[in-house]
Amino acid sequence: MNLVMTLGFLLVIIGLWAMLTQKNLIKIIIGFSIIDTGVHLIIVSIGYIKGRTAPILDASVSVADAANKIVDPIPSALVLTAIVIGLAVTALMLTFVIKLYQKNKSLSIDDYQELKW
């Protein structure tokens, strides 16, 4: 059992619940950002190896024994990218909400159903 991964999945579930049930557009985006945080936690937890240190070679970690002392650097590298992309998506979604609000003066998702069938 991986505690951080559990936490990550719980956050994904809570975020998803918010996305599916909250009417307010801002709340829906908050839901997405909670999901995002959860996913990042999951990714980092995948790279973690118990009792090891950060993947930086310095005085305490020499090149020779790095393979036995550091955690997996790849998930960290992936998460860096994912975090920035998450911000980009969140900001863009918020911009859509701002524009939608400008046009319709409503933040409820139920008021944006003019296209259907």
Site for another protein in 22-81 (CB under 8 A): 22-37, 39-50, 52-58, 63, 66-67, 70-81
Q: Is 98 in the site for another protein (CB under 8 A)?
A: yes
* Nearest-approach distance from CB 59 to another protein, in angstroms: 9
* Nearest-approach distance from CB 73 to another protein, in angstroms: 4
DSSP at 109: G
CB 5 within 8 A of CB 46: yes
Site for another protein in 3-22 (CB under 8 A): 3-7, 9-22
State the number of binding residues for another protein (CB under 8 A).
103
CA dist 6 and 16 (Å) reads 15
* Nearest-approach distance from CB 111 to another protein, in angstroms: 9
What's the burial of 36, exposed, middle or buried (CB within 10 Å: 0-12/13-18/19+)? buried
CB 53 within 8 A of CB 71: yes
* Nearest-approach distance from CB 23 to another protein, in angstroms: 8
CA dist 14 and 4 (Å) reads 15
